[in-house]
Chains A and B, each alone.
Chain A
Amino acid sequence: MWKLIVDIFPYAVIFTIPLLITALGALFSERSGVVNIGLEGLMIVGAFTGALVIFQLQHLWTKHPIVLWIGLLAAALLGAIFSLLHAFASINLSANQIISGTAINMIAGAITVFLARNITGSGNIRIVSGFQPFDVPILSGIPIIGDLFFKKTYATTWLILVVLLVCVFVLYKTRFGLRLRACGENPQAAEAAGINVYKMRYMGVIISGAFAGLGGAIMMVTFAGEFTGSVAGLGFLALASLIFGQWRPLGVLGATLFFGFASTVANVSQVNPALQVIPPIFLKVFPYVVTLIALVLFSKSSQAPKAAGEPFDSAKR
């Protein structure tokens, strides 16, 4: 059993990280009062941008890790820019945020493949090489902890964990975080206190776009290796993690780890004798069923931002 956990853990973490960063971004968006169901599309934009930039630069600079970092940066940037479509629709035009998010998903899925075909002739963009896993020196020698946390790790994993800490600090310890949260709870009161609700909501959505873009690109440079026009429902799973994690950073961490583990167990069950006794269908369906159950359990005590999903109307008090 212990060996199984040690075997699975690095893979579970690899799967968790893109989910975590995307859900963290969505946390900012929803805390500012904008529901972002377009995460899937924003991740696709990130995966596409990352793949394209890395694909082009790898021809010039083969095997240089800086290429991968430039790709990640470009993905975050494009994700942020693309999310402006959602921000403009839901903040300035009071559009139905769920419809606008769905439109984002559709536009991203279609246009990225359209462009990929124009540029590379195929709908897929394969990068030459992604990040390589490494064992952290010294720390990986520690018994138990070393095996779990410091072996076969990716540079991006450490980056995202730092981002998580920064997010906790920003949300709960800074003026910006307090104002952002106020806009999601009671925007009218926030405005009365002199906060520019529109600006804060724009910030929330843009952070969400940048993080989701980064998430899509990280997925591509760690376990996927190519852009295929889809992120296989990871964006929706990130949204579920946000709700499961009750709109709190550490809750989101726990929820994404849970999904990371559940998915990895399902994926390795075929090759692992200990897991072969369970029919694979149960393992695959498990995370989604648990989410439904969690939604039922939390339905009485939901910590959802009160104004999330509602267009801001300064005259409505």
Chain B
Amino acid sequence: MRNTIISLLAVLFGLLAGALLMTVTGHNPFEGYRYLFEGGLKNVERFGNTLATATPLIFTGLSVAFAFRTGLFNIGAAGQMLFGGFCATAVGLTLDLSKPLMLICTILAGFIGGALWAFIPGWLKAKFNVHEVVSTIMMNWIAYWTIYYTVPAYFKGQYLETESRLLPEAASLRVPFLTEAFGGSYINLGLFLAVIAVIVVAFIINKTTLGYELKAVGFNRHAAEYAGIGVNRGIIVSMLIAGGLAGLGGVAEFTGNASNIQIGKLPTQGFDGIAVALLGSNAPLGVLLAAIFFGLLYSGRGFMNAMTDIPPEIADSIIAIIIYFAATSILIERLVRKLLRKRANKREQNVEKGRER
């Protein structure tokens, strides 16, 4: 409850700050927000795109949140997502299978690729106590350059050096019934995969011994060790699952929302995953809702930019400011407490006044 209120207030402050930014730069914030939300919700196609945009964010958000429960800060979701997505793309471009079989293979490849990329920082942390923040950042750049050279060398696109060939229909997460139901949107099976992931992660965290042990390591590493929980094993397992989730995000992005992989950029969803996890207070359901909200901002900004001359980066600014407020939640708590106290004082004064009369 407390977390929900903080998240909602952080969103409110973020939107207010966005309005302030628009006003300062000479735009009408009411108009801006109207088009922003219309752009994400106006019709079924736009709504479908909002959900599709949210899909990779659900995965990376779950990834960061899951690692965080074990006290690990997975800042490498971008690299894990990229490498997982790359593995899935490679499988999709190499194998020739029927669609159901193909999807199982690409999804597995993505999960394993992401898990492998997170295993290294997890192993370094468990074995040598290397801080995962620095090692995951290094892994991000290693993934970046690996894909940068591997894609043009082995999977070069027909026209552009900077992207891979288009995936065959069998390897795409897009299916006709969804595309048609949402009026031509690029929504795809990734969304269902993401919802399943939310349920599975919630189950692992809340209902299994493994989840309990991982949380125990996160709360107090030394106490967990004293209680006989394998701390090092927990760190590695937690990173493996987190990386696998981020890898699935890559599958959803590169074989669902897009139909090939591009070189020369780290997927921004990896870093937005931190934001999603933080706003969703590291709970699976919270992550789902936060991702959909961010998906709305991201998919609506194009429409806003077309209808007004407000730059699309307003959406990123709002998200970033929301995260700052979520990170400084103590500020919000103090504010709320102060307001409550003021009200209590007033009531007391009124009561006293009443008595005096």
| Shortest distance between the CB of B294 and any CB in chain A (Å) | 12
Q: Which of B141-149, B171-179, B201-209, B249-257 contacts A (4 or more CB under 8 A)?
A: B141-149
Q: Quick check: A291 and B134 within 8 Å, CB to CB?
A: yes
B319 interfacial contact with A, CB 8 Å: yes
Partner of A89 from the list B129, B139, B271, B327 (CB cut-off 8 Å) is B327
Q: A95-B328, A288-B142, A296-B128 are in contact. Are A114 and B320 (CB under 8 A)?
A: no
Q: Quick check: A102 and B323 within 8 Å, CB to CB?
A: yes
A289 interfacial contact with B, CB 8 Å: yes
Inter-chain residue pair count (beta carbon < 8 A):
124
Q: Which residues from chain A contact B146 at a C-beta distance below 8 Å?
A: 281, 285
Q: A103-B323, A281-B145, A292-B138 are in contact. Are A113 and B130 (CB under 8 A)?
A: no
When each residue 299-325 of chain B gets 1 if its CB lies under 8 Å from chain A and 0 otherwise, what string results?
Answer: 000000000000101101101110110
A109 CA to B320 CA in the complex, in Å? 9
Q: Quick check: A292 and B133 within 8 Å, CB to CB?
A: no
| Shortest distance between the CB of A129 and any CB in chain B (Å) | 27
Q: A89-B327, A240-B134 are in contact. Are A233 and B319 (CB under 8 A)?
A: no
Partner of A107 from the list B26, B320, B326 (CB cut-off 8 Å) is B320
B296 interfacial contact with A, CB 8 Å: no
Q: Which residues from chain B contact A106 at a C-beta distance below 8 Å?
A: 271, 275, 316, 319-320, 323
A66 interfacial contact with B, CB 8 Å: no
Q: Quick check: B142 and A289 within 8 Å, CB to CB?
A: yes
Q: A107-B324, A110-B313, A292-B135 are in contact. Are A299 and B271 (CB under 8 A)?
A: no
Q: Which residues from chain B contact A96 at a C-beta distance below 8 Å?
A: 327
A292 CA to B311 CA in the complex, in Å? 39
Q: How many residues of A contact B (CB 8 A)?
A: 43
B interface secondary structure, majority: helix
A104 CA to B326 CA in the complex, in Å? 13
A100 CA to B326 CA in the complex, in Å? 9
Q: A106-B323, A118-B311 are in contact. Are A93 and B317 (CB under 8 A)?
A: no
B158 interfacial contact with A, CB 8 Å: no
A104 CA to B148 CA in the complex, in Å? 28
Q: Which residues from chain A contact B11 at a C-beta distance below 8 Å?
A: none
Q: Which residues from chain B contact A240 at a C-beta distance below 8 Å?
A: 134, 137-138
A239 CA to B120 CA in the complex, in Å? 20
| Shortest distance between the CB of A243 and any CB in chain B (Å) | 6
Q: Quick check: A95 and B271 within 8 Å, CB to CB?
A: no
Chain A residues at the B interface, C-beta cutoff of 8 Å = 37, 85, 88-89, 93-96, 98-100, 102-107, 109-111, 113-115, 117-118, 123, 233, 236, 239-240, 243, 279-281, 284-285, 288-289, 291-292, 295-296, 299
What are 23 A-B contacts defined by CB distance under 8 Å?
A93-B330, A95-B327, A102-B271, A109-B320, A113-B313, A113-B316, A114-B25, A114-B311, A115-B25, A118-B311, A123-B311, A233-B141, A239-B134, A239-B137, A280-B149, A281-B145, A281-B149, A284-B149, A285-B145, A289-B138, A295-B131, A296-B124, A299-B130
